[in-house]
Amino acid sequence: MTLVGKKAPHFSASAVIDGGEIVDKFSLDQYIGKKYVVFFFYPKDFTFVCPTELHAFQEKMAEFETRDVAVVGCSTDTAESHYSWLQMARENGGINGVKYPIVADTDKTISTNFGVLAGEYDYNEQGELVADGPMIAYRGLFLLDKDGVVHHQLVNNFPLGRNVEEALRVVDALRHFETKGEVCPANWKEGDDAMEESFDGVAAYLSNH
């Protein structure tokens, strides 16, 4: 399942913002027309690889902000679990100091709609609803433009942490394409030469932006 080229699925859910405030009805819709969004999923609070990723995104927040990018995390844990983890010191395995929003996908609909839920619900022979799989999110990452359209999608299995520098590189590539109409070849980074290319997909995109 790919969401690239499509509007990101809408959701409204509880989230923890600013490292310690639980809010209801948090939505990515608030960024439409204002910011790009890097929306990423991680499997579980109070684990081992996950805090390294959450801190890595926080450490690069100034670079995301200069690019007009909002960073938002999400897992299937509750908002209360997120809050507790945010109060725990980094040296103890916590994520204290993380300030970007962390969404609580407790009913697992967000991770399902984004195609990153590991497992699914089914009915057994007795007609009972049962879960097949761990029912937590893979390490999914999605880059949305200011119209809420997905341009980049990456999904890693549980053991494989992501590269935040690569997320920044892809943001730069999208911004370069939008501003200059040039496409970005393999291993491109900001400051490198890009390429002029004309085909229907690019022309259609530029005509709408």
Residues designated catalytic: 50
Mind giving me the DSSP string for 139-173? EEEEEE-TTSBEEEEEEE-TT----HHHHHHHHHH
Nearest C-alpha neighbor of 9 from the set 103, 123, 77 = 103
Output DSSP code: residue 8: P
Q: Report the alpha-carbon distance of residue 207 to residue 209 in Å, rounded.
A: 6
Q: How many CB atoms lie within 10 A of CB 191?
A: 7
